Structure 1
Amino acid sequence: MDIEGFVRRNIESMDEESVKRVLSERIMELKDIDIETSMKMAEAVVYEVKKTLELEGVDETLREIVSYPSAGVAMGEMGVGSRGEGDFFVHRKIAEIVSSTGTSAFINPSAQDDGGVVKTSAGSSEVYITTAVDGIHSRLSEYPFLGGFHVTRAALRDVCVMGSRPLALLSDLHLADDGDVGKLFDFTAGVSAVSELVGVPVVAGSTLRVGGDMVLGDRLVSAVGAIGFSETPPTARKRAEAGDVILLTEGSGGGTITTTAIYHGLFDVVWETLDVNFIRASEAIMDAGILGDIHAMTDVTNGGLRGDAHEISSTTGMGLKFDAEAIRSMINPRVLEMLEDLEIDPLGVSIDSLMIIAPEDIADKAMAAVRGAGVDVAEIGVVTDSGIPLLNRDGSAEELRPLFREAAYTQIKKMVGDKTPEDFDEMKRMVEEAARRAIEKKDMVVQMIRDR
């Protein structure tokens, strides 16, 4: 529970004593303390929030800095984090803010790729450094080991698909005020299990409370970052060319599939997700010496194949033509059975497969290398110049479009739904305006600091 947020939402619509009383009751629901102590806590929170609202006499510029450009659109309304059309739109706006700095990178956020890349020199050679960061699946807070395991795999995947060999891992861990310290250790054990399996060390990290004293409960949120390097240019999505063959390795899922299994009581499916096959497949391609000839690699995660196809097509201007049955053959049979039994679109959720885009002769070598590492792989389609991702199913072709949110894989997600809001265009306009104002604010502060 965000007790500061509660006060901010209610301090102007309720009288102050009522805010303190209700907040005190909420605090006692979560903490084993007496009414006197909870009331003192409530009074302290109200005092602090009121002080932040006392802006009379504050310099107008400073007032702008301590406020934020409200979009008037909530995260859930926009579908942020739900790996669909709304999420992709917001990420493009974030990329615009980053790009406005004028700093350069070989692959920057505007490419909407799996990881970012900078090029630097090491002696007489050029080296490409890849970085990636992923957050724990929000529904795995009560399952820290699995959360740590899968988020570490995700960060490593994002480095591998850029054609980099992972060098190091970083862990950023946040646990709310009432969380059991054992969660920290369990999460770290999950991260360390992957670290040990693939031989990539955890070198740094941070551990804090979610919201400090202002968030009660035991929610765990965290992220794992990965760093890798390569001596060849990255296998970025923008290199895909018409005529390329599209390959897909067998996917058993990660955090999303684990969450689906747990919250439907199908715990045996969790076993299917516990592997490091993706990283083995990526390393096999590197070891085969064909990485420089592969045009693009990506992991099938963000919104499933629907989302990745849309992102690749948007970035490259190319079309992609997929075979539905070939894709089905590359989804772990037990995972596919679960998804179909629960009426979850397998193309709309993360299955954690490695997708490889390469010329036909290189594709054959890639399949041989991946199979040599003990990972199944198949050809699932081709790149075209149509500019549209298409799915061939039962003799007919349909456009492969991302949903507003990824396919609903829990009961609460089914309730929220995946339909595009009727006012989505207006929501996008409001979000765009907030992003524009954020850039203006950034420019103002940078200029002020430079002028000093």
Structure 2
Amino acid sequence: MDIEGFVRARIDDYSYEDLSVLLAERIREYKEISDENSIKMAEAVIDEVSTTLKLKESDDEFLKEITEITKSGVGMGEMGVGSRGAGDFFVHRRIADIVASTNTASLVNPTEQDDGGVVRSKAKNDEVYITTAVDGIHSRLSEYPFLGGFHVTRATLRDVCVMGADPVAILSDVHLADDGDVGKIFDFTAGVAAVSELVNVPIVAGSTLRVGGDMVLGDRFVSAVGSVGVSDYPPTARKGATKGDVILLTEGSGGGTITTTAIYNGFFDVVWDTMNVNFVQASQSLFEADLVKDIHAMTDVTNGGLRGDAHEISNTTGVGLEFYEKDIRNMVAPNVLNMLETLNIDPLGVSTDSLMLVVPEDIAEDVIKTVSSAGVDIAEIGQVTDSGEPILIKEDFSTEKLVPLFREAAYTKIKKLVGDTTPEDFEIMQEKVQKACEDAIAKKDKVINYINKN
């Protein structure tokens, strides 16, 4: 519970005394403290919030401007942020706009909607490509921190691997709310460490904080894991896809999303299908065989499933993609596919954590043999065309344009209730979000000008 947010939402509608009593009651729901101490704690929060509100009366107009939130009037849930669909992609492009406004140089940055970013550096006069990536723990795995740590580490390592980089370091950032048991931190770190040990990539740094400090009660756990990779060759970003290329896909058994689906729908045995490091092993086999330099593009089937990835690749590069539904289904681990079909979840609309490779036709067989030799199943699932659209060829030979849903395929009961249909006012929401992005860029520019002048 965010007690600061609780107060901010009610401070204008309640007297000081009534709000103190109301908040004290909420505090006692989480903490075993006396009525007297809960009132004192409530009053302290109200006093602090009241003090911050005086900033609105300040004579410093510029300070007021930069401390006021650039509001869009659209909520995260309304827009589908984090739900890996059309709304989420739109917001990520706006984030990329803010990044692009800095005019700083990198080889791959958020404007290209790739999983990792790449910069070029020099070491002993040789060019080195450095890839970084960061992923947050799946929100529904807060109660299962070991699994959360395991899967978020796999995710960030995948994001480095698909840029053609060899992972060399892992970083961890942990946030646990005030009432959370410290053991959650250890469980999470052990999950991260398990992957670290399995793939022989060291954990080198991290941070540990409370969610919201004193202002958030409960035991909600959030975290992120980052990774760094290096390569002697330019990145295998999505923009490398070329007409005539062959599209290959490794077997996907899922990660955080599939684990969440399994736990919250009672398919507990499927959790074990997800506990592997096949993706990294497949990537490392390509590094060792020196094939990465010849691969045109690599990506992991995560954000919004294959529908989302196909749309983003086509949208970024302008090429067409042609997929065969039967071949894709064959590359979903049998237990996982059975669960998805039983729950009526679209396998193409959910993260399966497969490695998708776009390669020239003349090296496709070498790639297949190399990845297979690492014990990872891989098969051809389509090709790159010049149609400019991602197309799915179904088992009955009919075709369908692959378009991401507003949210990724609903894989829990609550997600099914929320739905994945596009809101009627989505265009209006986009305009509001676009305006907020532009306002944020303007604020950034003003602050930079102020600092440079002073």
**TM-score past 0.5 threshold:** yes
Matched residue type, 1:245: V
- In the alignment, the residues of structure 1 paired with residue 18 and residue 279 of structure 2 have an alpha-carbon distance, to the nearest angstrom, of 55
Taking the TM superposition and a 5 Å limit, the aligned residue runs for 1:248-397 are 248-393=249-394, 394-397=396-399
Q: Say whether the 8 Å CA contact 2:130–2:228 is kept in structure 1.
A: yes
Q: Displacement, 1:58?
A: 3.2
1:34 matched residue in structure 2: 34
Matched residue type, 1:434: A
- In the alignment, the residues of structure 1 paired with residue 368 and residue 288 of structure 2 have an alpha-carbon distance, to the nearest angstrom, of 13
Matched residue type, 2:302: T
SS at match of 1:263: helix
- In the alignment, the residues of structure 1 paired with residue 382 and residue 58 of structure 2 have an alpha-carbon distance, to the nearest angstrom, of 64
1:13 matched residue in structure 2: 13
- In the alignment, the residues of structure 2 paired with residue 168 and residue 207 of structure 1 have an alpha-carbon distance, to the nearest angstrom, of 18
- In the alignment, the residues of structure 1 paired with residue 86 and residue 19 of structure 2 have an alpha-carbon distance, to the nearest angstrom, of 38
1:205 matched residue in structure 2: 206
Q: Say whether the 8 Å CA contact 2:58–2:64 is kept in structure 1.
A: no
Moved more, 253-262 or 361-370: 361-370
SS at match of 1:53: helix
- What's the CA shift string for 1:403-433, capped at 9, x where partnerless? 0000000000000000100000000000000
- What's the CA shift string for 1:346-384, capped at 9, x where partnerless? 111100000000111111111110001010000001111
- In the alignment, the residues of structure 1 paired with residue 282 and residue 73 of structure 2 have an alpha-carbon distance, to the nearest angstrom, of 44
Q: Displacement, 1:16?
A: 2.6
Aligned-pair identity (%) = 68
- In the alignment, the residues of structure 2 paired with residue 307 and residue 138 of structure 1 have an alpha-carbon distance, to the nearest angstrom, of 20
- In the alignment, the residues of structure 1 paired with residue 426 and residue 372 of structure 2 have an alpha-carbon distance, to the nearest angstrom, of 44
- What's the CA shift string for 1:166-221, capped at 9, x where partnerless? 00000000000000000000000000000000000000000000000000000000
- In the alignment, the residues of structure 2 paired with residue 97 and residue 57 of structure 1 have an alpha-carbon distance, to the nearest angstrom, of 28
1:182 matched residue in structure 2: 183
Q: Which of 377, 401, 406 pairs up with 1:399?
A: 401
- What's the CA shift string for 1:27-63, capped at 9, x where partnerless? 1111111111111111111111111111213310010
- In the alignment, the residues of structure 2 paired with residue 325 and residue 33 of structure 1 have an alpha-carbon distance, to the nearest angstrom, of 60
- In the alignment, the residues of structure 2 paired with residue 384 and residue 13 of structure 1 have an alpha-carbon distance, to the nearest angstrom, of 60
Matched residue type, 1:426: I
- What's the CA shift string for 1:290-340, capped at 9, x where partnerless? 111110000000010011011101100111110000000000000000000
1:451 matched residue in structure 2: 453
- What's the CA shift string for 1:68-102, capped at 9, x where partnerless? 11010000000000000000000000000011011
1:246 matched residue in structure 2: 247
Q: Which of 430, 433, 440 pairs up with 1:431?
A: 433
Taking the TM superposition and a 5 Å limit, the aligned residue runs for 1:220-231 are 220-231=221-232
- In the alignment, the residues of structure 1 paired with residue 59 and residue 352 of structure 2 have an alpha-carbon distance, to the nearest angstrom, of 51
- In the alignment, the residues of structure 1 paired with residue 30 and residue 267 of structure 2 have an alpha-carbon distance, to the nearest angstrom, of 30
- In the alignment, the residues of structure 1 paired with residue 18 and residue 97 of structure 2 have an alpha-carbon distance, to the nearest angstrom, of 43
- In the alignment, the residues of structure 1 paired with residue 34 and residue 257 of structure 2 have an alpha-carbon distance, to the nearest angstrom, of 40
2:129 matched residue in structure 1: 128
- In the alignment, the residues of structure 1 paired with residue 81 and residue 253 of structure 2 have an alpha-carbon distance, to the nearest angstrom, of 25
Q: Which of 421, 427, 435 pairs up with 1:419?
A: 421
Moved more, 58-67 or 410-419: 58-67
Matched residue type, 2:425: D
1:114 matched residue in structure 2: 115
Gaps of 5+ in 1: none
SS at match of 2:269: helix
Q: RMSD of the TM alignment (CA)? A: 0.7
- In the alignment, the residues of structure 2 paired with residue 172 and residue 58 of structure 1 have an alpha-carbon distance, to the nearest angstrom, of 38
- In the alignment, the residues of structure 2 paired with residue 18 and residue 240 of structure 1 have an alpha-carbon distance, to the nearest angstrom, of 62
Q: Displacement, 1:15?
A: 2.7
Q: Displacement, 1:398?
A: 0.5
SS at match of 2:265: coil
Matched residue type, 2:26: R
- In the alignment, the residues of structure 2 paired with residue 89 and residue 200 of structure 1 have an alpha-carbon distance, to the nearest angstrom, of 34
Q: Displacement, 1:18?
A: 2.2
- In the alignment, the residues of structure 1 paired with residue 12 and residue 100 of structure 2 have an alpha-carbon distance, to the nearest angstrom, of 38
1:53 matched residue in structure 2: 53
Question: What is the number of residues matched between the two proteins?
Answer: 452
Q: Displacement, 1:114?
A: 1.0
- In the alignment, the residues of structure 1 paired with residue 432 and residue 12 of structure 2 have an alpha-carbon distance, to the nearest angstrom, of 25
Q: Displacement, 1:391?
A: 0.5
2:102 matched residue in structure 1: 101
